[in-house]
């Protein structure tokens, strides 16, 4: 049985005299999807130059395609996780930086003006 895409490739293969190398999906009568890889080339008559037969292979690559899909989904999930982590670090950094800036400014003011305060004010807790 020649698949739809194979039918489309045959005229191009005849015209260009090159092989075709395609991956495509088929749906079996039970509804199951399979992925196939086809590689075909024409054999020409040496005297007339006309094609006499076509040689090719068809390989079931369903498992490979499923693995590629799983890897693509895992990569997408990892990118989303990295983006979420970056946003969290940015927000957390901002949330800590704002109050720490106030504490740092207060500490610098205390150090700068300590000499103007007497010992009693320096050690007072409230």
What confidence category does residue 13 fall into, taking pLDDT thresholds of 50, 70 and 90? low
Distances (CA, A) of 8 to 5, 69, 121: 5, 26, 92
Average pLDDT, the chain: 83
Question: Options 3.30.450.20, 3.40.50.620, 3.30.565.10, 3.10.20.30; which CATH number does 4-60 get?
Answer: 3.30.450.20
pLDDT per residue over 36-94, tens digit each? Answer: 999 988 888 899 988 888 889 999 999 999 999 999 999 999 999 999 999 998 888 87
Q: Is the pTM of this model over 0.75?
A: no
The domain limits of the chain are 4-60, 68-120
CA distance 35 to 27: 9
CA distance 9 to 18: 10
CA distance 20 to 36: 13
* Dihedrals phi, psi of 33, to nearest 5 degrees: -95, 140
């Amino acid at each position: 049985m020649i698949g739809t895409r194979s039918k489309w490739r045959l005229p191009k293969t005849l015209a260009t005299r090159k092989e075709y190398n395609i991956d495509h999906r088929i749906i079996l009568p039970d509804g199951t999807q399979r992925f196939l890889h086809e590689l075909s080339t024409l054999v020409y008559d040496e005297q007339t130059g006309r094609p006499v037969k076509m040689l090719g292979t068809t390989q079931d690559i369903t498992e490979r395609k499923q693995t590629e899909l799983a890897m693509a989904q895992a990569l997408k999930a990892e990118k989303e996780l990295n983006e979420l982590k970056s946003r969290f670090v940015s927000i957390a950094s901002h949330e800590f930086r704002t109050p720490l800036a106030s504490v740092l400014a207060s500490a610098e003011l205390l150090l700068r003006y300590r000499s103007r305060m007497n010992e009693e004010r320096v050690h007072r807790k409230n």
